[in-house]
Amino acid sequence: MQTVEEIKALLHKNKLRLMQELSQSKEAMHLIKKSTHAKLSAEEKEKIRVQLLDICKSIPALAVFLLPGGALLLPLLIKLIPDILPSAFRD
């Protein structure tokens, strides 16, 4: 059983990871808008590619979570397929 302090630490850690992921998504959207007016560098294209892959990885995890009992199944799925997590959530 986890203590309240451990749970608070986990929530804070995941909050920071979520903020990082949102920041990366925001940057990717800015780069996509920029690409309509100017050519992107190879580094910018790579950032967009990585972020779009992260978004695509989040969709199956969300679908599993929404299933009945998905909250119990998702941690098991993450153990079996660790690459399903977006990059901000990997240790």
Classify residue 27 by burial, with Cβ atoms within 10 Å: 0-12, 13-18, 19+. Answer: middle
pLDDT recorded at residue 40: 92
pLDDT recorded at residue 14: 80
pLDDT recorded at residue 71: 77
Classify residue 86 by burial, with Cβ atoms within 10 Å: 0-12, 13-18, 19+. Answer: buried
Render pLDDT for 2-29 as a digit per residue (tens, 0 to 9). Answer: 788 888 887 888 888 888 888 888 998 9
Q: Parse the chain into domains and list their residue ranges.
A: 4-89
Closest CA to 35 of 57, 52, 56: 52
Could you tell me the pLDDT band of residue 46, with boundaries at 50, 70 and 90? very high
Render pLDDT for 61-83 as a digit per residue (tens, 0 to 9). Answer: 778 778 888 777 877 777 777 77
